[in-house]
Amino acid sequence: MNHPEPAGTKTVGKHLGLALVVISAAQLMIVLDSTIVNVALPTIHRDLHFSNANLEWLITAYSLTFGGLLLFGGRIGDLYGKRRMFMTGIAVFAVSSLLCGLAQSDIWLIITRGFQGIGGAIVAPTALALIATNFAEGKERNRAMAVYAAMSGGGGALGLLLGGILTDLVSWRWIFIVNVPIGALVLLLAPRALNEAETTSGRLDLPGALTVTSGMLALVYGLSNAASHSWGSLATVVPLTVAVVLLVSFVFIESKSAEPLMPIDIFKNRNRSGTYAMMLCIITGLFSMFYFMTQFLQNILGWSPLKTGVGFLPMTLGIVVAAAIASQLVGKIGIRVPLLIGHGAAVVGLVWLSRLTTSSSYADMLGPLLIISLGMGLAFVPLTLTAVSGVRADEAGLASALLNTTQQVGGALGLAILATVAIDATKSKMQSLAALTHGHLTRAATAVATTHGYTTAFEFGAGIALVGFVISLLAIRAPRLPIRAENDLDTRGAETSTS
């Protein structure tokens, strides 16, 4: 095992352009799988004879393993080598993707989706950590983070586009198989493009890893169940109770451990702690938007999967452009202004979407989608930079894993809460319409009730995003300068993260 280099030592990649391509391709592949399946769900439902109860597990099996193992994935990268574990995760993800594409039954596909999540949980934190260790802090890292944030933010929308194209023109199986050649190329180029970062000596905190992983799995499982059951059902209450017990146990174990999986003092940095809270809020409010908009376009407006995917293309481009702008802004005016504008735009866009009706046209949706893409691009760059700025090199994987964990937990939380809100609002609207028509609901009335459920979810999502806006006002105290380690409150990180 390698030992940490002396404080102040720089680790710079061999070929920065190629390194950015490798890391971005890996991140895009991982993020795509969070949404690419959504558009193909009806086709997969028919081909593999899924039950309605099992169908949702195509989404939750991935998020369960991904969200639950992210901290573990970040820590093993710190202990055993970020590049080594990055490549291991890519291999697991690519093989699992191939098995998904070859699936002959619903159980087969659900299990292999879970293994995809395991690979993703290793790749995501190590990919972000490799940026922090291969690119010097300042302009180079800001540019790299902008590309990474564009992949993270735009990958979800791009997944809807690719899912529609592949499902309509080829086969749903190719939404998984396409990962195989990408993964193989990343594995081929990674040793040539990326330096292996320094590792930390020590042992893996197994009690901490087991409690936090099990706790996260129970939390995401309980939140996912709330969407299909109720918040008061045993299927929801029991796993959430177990999650609370396990996560409290994890905090206790970490506070007493000599070599903790997650040093508690990483949260002493006010900016970093605020960043995690803001990411949780904005993802909770926005993640399920893709789900509801996809359902609205196909179930209400009757769009095909391909047309639905194309409809999200302007949003994808908007995120990429906004992320590029944000990377320039943070170097000139700091992170605070882009954060405020980004969160504010997300709130405005979601409120605007809540005004959709069954007679809305695509033009009615384009405005709010572009506003939301602006918000995502502007917010994700400074959030990502702040999360890893000033941390020690041996904790870079942990810091990035925590950021990715908040994204996954936020997505599961948002889908659970907002799906429950949408279902309740739809049922309530149906009851009121049925009372007016003496129990007879036409197809048009059902569409009105369903749309009311979607728009109510958008309103609640806007409220959650607004909480993130308030946190950005109260928590972030960054100077109007480029983010640099010497300006960070974590002085330990400043010893090794100098530009």
Select the more confidently predicted residue: 19 or 370: 370
Structure token pair of residue 304:
């095909």
Select the more confidently predicted residue: 289 or 466: 466
In the structure, what pLDDT confidence band is assigned to residue 393 with cuts at 50, 70 and 90? low
Q: Are 130 and 12 in contact (CB under 8 A)?
A: no
Half-sphere exposure (Cβ direction) of 286: Cα atoms closer than 13 Å:
35
Q: Each residue of 306-319: pLDDT tens digit?
A: 888 888 888 888 88
The arithmetic mean of pLDDT across residues 281-305, rounded, is 85
Highest mean pLDDT of the ranges 6-15, 147-156, 312-321: 312-321
Handedness of CA 279, 284, 288, 293 (dihedral sign): negative
Which residues are CB-neighbours of 302 under 8 A, at least 6 positions away?
A: none
* Nearest-5° Cα angle at 258, 253 to 261: 60
Q: What span, in angstroms and rounded, lies between the C-alpha atoms of 81 and 460? A: 42
Q: What span, in angstroms and rounded, lies between the C-alpha atoms of 88 and 137? A: 27
Tell me the pTM.
0.74
| Pick from 23, 17, 38: nearest CA to 299 | 38
Label residue 108 exposed, middle or buried (CB < 10 Å: 0-12, 13-18, 19+): middle
What's 333-348 look like in SS3? HCCHHHHHHHHHHHHH
Structure token pair of residue 382:
């400074």
The arithmetic mean of pLDDT across residues 214-227, rounded, is 76
Q: What span, in angstroms and rounded, lies between the C-alpha atoms of 277 and 273? A: 6
Note the pLDDT of residue 320: 81
* Nearest-5° Cα angle at 213, 210 to 215: 100
Label residue 126 exposed, middle or buried (CB < 10 Å: 0-12, 13-18, 19+): buried
Q: End-to-end CA distance of the chain, in Å? A: 27
| 394 has pLDDT over 70 | no
In the structure, what pLDDT confidence band is assigned to residue 5 with cuts at 50, 70 and 90? very low
Tell me the percentage of the chain whose pLDDT exceeds 90. Answer: 23
Q: Each residue of 300-348: pLDDT tens digit?
A: 998 888 888 888 888 888 888 888 888 888 878 888 888 889 989 999 9
Q: What span, in angstroms and rounded, lies between the C-alpha atoms of 385 and 97? A: 30
Q: What span, in angstroms and rounded, lies between the C-alpha atoms of 483 and 369? A: 29
Q: How far is CA 258 from the centre of its chain?
A: 31
Select the more confidently predicted residue: 326 or 440: 326
Select the more confidently predicted residue: 228 or 217: 217
Domain coordinates in residue numbering, the chain: 16-204+261-484, 205-259
Q: Each residue of 399-435: pLDDT tens digit?
A: 777 777 787 778 777 777 887 788 889 888 988 888 7
Q: What span, in angstroms and rounded, lies between the C-alpha atoms of 447 and 441? A: 10
Phi (first) and psi of residue 263, to 5 degrees = -55, 125
Mean confidence (pLDDT) of the chain:
81
In the structure, what pLDDT confidence band is assigned to residue 486 with cuts at 50, 70 and 90? very low
Note the pLDDT of residue 298: 81
Handedness of CA 38, 22, 111, 75 (dihedral sign): negative
> Among 97-101, 441-445, 466-470, 490-494, where is mean pLDDT lowest?
490-494
Note the pLDDT of residue 115: 94
Note the pLDDT of residue 4: 41
Q: What span, in angstroms and rounded, lies between the C-alpha atoms of 330 and 56? A: 39
Note the pLDDT of residue 487: 38
| Pick from 93, 108, 118: nearest CA to 44 | 108
Highest mean pLDDT of the ranges 158-172, 174-188, 311-325, 433-447: 174-188
In the structure, what pLDDT confidence band is assigned to residue 246 with cuts at 50, 70 and 90? very high
Note the pLDDT of residue 327: 83
| 491 has pLDDT over 70 | no
Structure token pair of residue 148:
């990474």
Q: Each residue of 82-114: pLDDT tens digit?
A: 888 999 999 999 999 999 999 999 999 999 999
In the structure, what pLDDT confidence band is assigned to residue 222 with cuts at 50, 70 and 90? confident
In the structure, what pLDDT confidence band is assigned to residue 153 with cuts at 50, 70 and 90? low
| Pick from 354, 384, 387, 386: nearest CA to 371 | 354
Note the pLDDT of residue 201: 65
Q: Each residue of 25-38: pLDDT tens digit?
A: 888 888 888 778 88
| 481 has pLDDT over 80 | no
Tell me which CATH homologous superfamily contains domain 16-204+261-484. Answer: MFS general substrate transporter like domains (1.20.1250.20)
The arithmetic mean of pLDDT across residues 362-391, rounded, is 86
